[in-house]
Amino acid sequence: MRRREDGRGLEECRKPLICTKVVAQALGSSYVELGTTKIVCSVYGPKPNLDEFKQEGEIVYNYRRAPFALANRGKTGDQDNTVLDEKLAAEALDQALSLSVAIGKFPKSSFTVNVLVLESGPGELPLAIMAASVACCDGGIELYDMMSACTVCSVLGELIVDPTAEELQLSTFQLMLAYMTNRKEVAYLQSTGESTTTELKQAIQLGTHACGKCTEVIEECLTKSWQAEQ
Amino acid sequence: SSSASSSSSAERQVVAPGDRLGATTALVAGIGAYELEGGVYAALLGVREEVDGDDGRKIVSVRRKQKVVVLPKIGDQVMCQVTRINSRMAHVAIISVQGQLLGREEEHFPGLIRARDVRAFDIDDVKVQHAFRPGDIVMAEVISLGDARSYYLSTAKNELGVILARSAAGHTMVPISWQQMQCPVTKVKELRKVAKIDVKSSSSSSSKKKKKKRRKMRVLPSSMIMMTRMCSHCSKYRWLVEVFQ
């Protein structure tokens, strides 16, 4: 089997480090780390939603990168791009996670999910999705399922899972997907580049399989946090 | 999916959101669980608990030890503080639901007690200013989710109503009947809709009381400000709130 530069197989994804209860004053929080990418997520609420009467709850996602998060920091010309980037990421989080939160159980309230990227890197958005899912679970928000996410990309005709920065640069096609393992539902899919239909189908399959592995890590972390509570 | 059970007995089984608990033929989804396509799944990280239900199936729920997300539901008993009154209703801020405190001021849900929901008899002649005043702590029951701005609450039961109030002179008043409270210093009587509480039946242990005492001080800053405006010392107030909770 062909090995990649860091010794992994093509379909092997790195195991993220996940901890909960990182922010004491938040309802729930999580810290996730994958390679050099580091993300803290905190959930606050429930706050009364006074704008209109809704039988369902509302979740507001805030996605921010710390000023020191990017490798090339402080370029003021890039300010607009960063803000747009963050806004798109928040929208992606919203689309993905809204399928896993049981908002029907929280009438007239709103929760705020704050994602703070401490160090940016490849696989930032999938990691943020996992962080937000774990933080919501830690906060006691009712979820239909835990969500995990990963990136699959095509480099020189081969599909690889969880690419590093160099592999991403060489890739012709990238697919990011968020997957709920127990429900067997793909919650969010984002693809860039060119691919054939077969390649796309294969990539989705690889992605869901890798997400299954990530879910195992999430469940391990949740068990640990449960035992720590006792 | 892994069901990580630390002990062999099914009672202590720890489940995570998305874990399948069983089929709807044998189980009904309780708190912390949901039903989908013939199966019952967990919605929270917690311990699985089963109780016998009415129709032969068991009600399965997932229980967490630490604080759960609390929201007022219809029928819940809430403790609230009156923020303002007018001739038709009293506006309140809900500070605790079913004994569980809502932490910060921004999480206090607004509610209102309409004149017709103040008491059970003679509802046409209710005078709101003879039932509540701003700053009073009131035990009420949620009767409706209301509109966007407030939950609708009711005090139309004997055990609901004012549990703590300050007199015009600023001293904590003592209830002398179901309609009146008296200031212990000036001896002035004021009208309130007083709640009939069995004060001696508080079943909390001493350690729990200490915890609650600390939390109270953090939770009611607005009322503390109001009390300090009206009077100089608050020590009696803290003790009374602890007793009533």
Contacting residues of B for A222, CB less than 8 Å apart: 16, 45
Tens-digit pLDDT profile for residues A109-158: 899 999 999 999 888 999 999 999 999 999 999 999 999 999 999 998 88
Q: Average pLDDT for residues A161-178, to the nearest whole number?
A: 91
Among chain A residues, the shortest Cα distance to B17 is held by: A145
CA distance A15 to chain B (A): 17
Weakest-pLDDT range from A57-61, A213-217, B174-178: B174-178
Alpha carbons within 13 angstroms on the beta-carbon side of residue A179 total 23
Do residues A127 and A18 make contact, with C-beta atoms less than 8 angstroms apart?
A: no
Q: Which of A180, A108, A172 has the alpha carbon at shortest distance from A137?
A: A180
Tens-digit pLDDT profile for residues B39-63: 999 999 999 988 888 888 889 988 8
* pLDDT tops 60 at residue B6: no
**Which residues of chain B approach chain A closer than 8 Å at the C-beta?**
1-2, 4, 6, 14, 16-20, 32, 34, 36, 41, 43-46, 64-71, 106-110, 145-149, 151
Helices (H), chain B: 206-219, 221-230, 235-244
Torsion from C-alpha of A20, A24, A29, A31, nearest 10 degrees = -60
Among chain B residues, the shortest Cα distance to A227 is held by: B6
* pLDDT tops 70 at residue B118: yes
Sequence-separated (6 or more) residues with CB below 8 Å from residue A71? A120
What is the distance between the alpha carbons of residues A79 and A9, in angstroms, rounded to a whole number? 38
Q: Sheet holding B58-63: strands in order across?
A: B14-15, B46-52, B58-63, B27-29
Q: A140 and B64 in contact by Cβ < 8 A?
A: yes
Torsion from C-alpha of B233, B234, B239, B245, nearest 10 degrees = 160
In this prediction the ipTM stands at: 0.85
Neighbours of B27 (CB within 10 A): 19
Q: Which of A48, A141, A229 sits opposite B110 (nearest CB)?
A: A48
* pLDDT tops 70 at residue B214: no
Do residues A49 and A110 make contact, with C-beta atoms less than 8 angstroms apart?
A: yes
Q: A229 and B6 in contact by Cβ < 8 A?
A: no
What confidence score (pLDDT) does residue B85 get?
A: 94
C-alpha pair distances (Å), A8 with each of A4, A77, A162: 5, 38, 10
* pLDDT tops 80 at residue B213: no
Neighbours of B222 (CB within 10 A): 15
CA distance A172 to chain B (A): 34
Do residues A146 and A129 make contact, with C-beta atoms less than 8 angstroms apart?
A: no
CA distance B55 to chain A (A): 24
C-alpha pair distances (Å), B2 with each of A116, A221, B176: 30, 12, 60
Tens-digit pLDDT profile for residues B66-97: 667 778 889 999 999 999 999 999 999 998 88
- Using the structure block, give the residue that is written with the tokens 């107030």: B237
**C-beta pairs of B225-234 under 8 Å, 24+ apart in sequence:** B226/B134, B226/B135, B226/B166, B227/B135, B227/B166, B227/B170, B230/B135, B230/B166, B230/B169, B230/B170, B231/B166, B231/B169, B231/B170, B231/B171, B232/B170
What is the distance between the alpha carbons of residues A226 and B16, in angstroms, rounded to a whole number? 10
Q: B66 and A229 in contact by Cβ < 8 A?
A: yes
Q: A108 and B106 in contact by Cβ < 8 A?
A: no
Tens-digit pLDDT profile for residues B181-196: 988 899 999 999 998 8
Do residues A48 and A33 make contact, with C-beta atoms less than 8 angstroms apart?
A: no
What confidence score (pLDDT) does residue B175 get?
A: 87
Among chain A residues, the shortest Cα distance to B109 is held by: A48
What is the distance between the alpha carbons of residues B20 and B3, in angstroms, rounded to a whole number? 9
